[in-house]
């Protein structure tokens, strides 16, 4: 005769209460989700900027005129904000890593955000240098004056 011990074991397992003492509070989990969503949103916006920045770098190389260098101050301002955000994210990373469990996605999303902010900062620096180098290349070229002797070198420096 079968006593149903197998079913009794299953019912016992089913009826056992979850370990609520070790569960994290719901408001904490909601804050984790909100932080993750916001970091993903910001990271996606910055990635779109990175794509746009690639087209800007190409256009700088093709430009046939001097580029207004007042845009460099805009890059300075943007880089200052990016630097603050980057350092803020890096500063909070140890606490996030310590407060999250292995299955939480926030540490991964945070690391992606940090790397994306570094990439956009570096790209803006590339754009800055591309503008300055382009403008130097666009300056009028003077008449070349080959110098081949020490007397010509002295005469050249005297003329300055």
pTM: 0.73
DSSP secondary structure letters along 109-157: HHHHHHHHHHHHHHHHHHHHHHHHHHHHHHSPPPPP----SHHHHHHHH
- pLDDT higher than 90, residue 64: yes
Give the pLDDT of residue 21. Answer: 54
The arithmetic mean of pLDDT across residues 58-77, rounded, is 95
| Mean confidence (pLDDT) of the chain | 89
For 80-106, write each residue's pLDDT tens digit. 999 999 999 999 999 999 989 999 999
Give the pLDDT of residue 20. Answer: 55
**Which positions ≥6 away from 71 have C-beta within 8 Å?**
131
Whole-number Å distance between alpha carbons of 160 and 157: 5
- pLDDT higher than 60, residue 65: yes
Give the pLDDT of residue 62. Answer: 95
């Amino acid at each position: 005769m079968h006593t149903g011990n197998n079913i009794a074991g299953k019912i016992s397992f089913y009826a056992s209460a979850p370990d609520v003492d070790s569960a994290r509070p719901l408001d904490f989990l909601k804050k984790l989700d909100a932080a993750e969503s916001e970091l993903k949103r910001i990271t996606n916006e910055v990635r779109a900027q990175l794509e746009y920045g690639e087209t800007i770098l190409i256009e700088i190389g093709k430009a046939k005129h001097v580029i207004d260098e007042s845009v460099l101050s805009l890059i300075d301002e943007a880089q200052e904000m990016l630097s603050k955000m980057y350092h803020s994210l890096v500063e909070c990373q140890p606490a996030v890593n310590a407060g999250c469990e292995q299955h939480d996605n926030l540490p991964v999303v945070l690391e992606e955000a940090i790397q994306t902010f570094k990439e956009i900062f570096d790209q803006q620096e590339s754009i800055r240098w591309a503008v300055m180098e382009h403008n130097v290349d666009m300056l009028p070229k003077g008449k070349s004056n080959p110098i081949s002797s020490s007397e010509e070198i002295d005469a050249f420096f005297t003329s300055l």
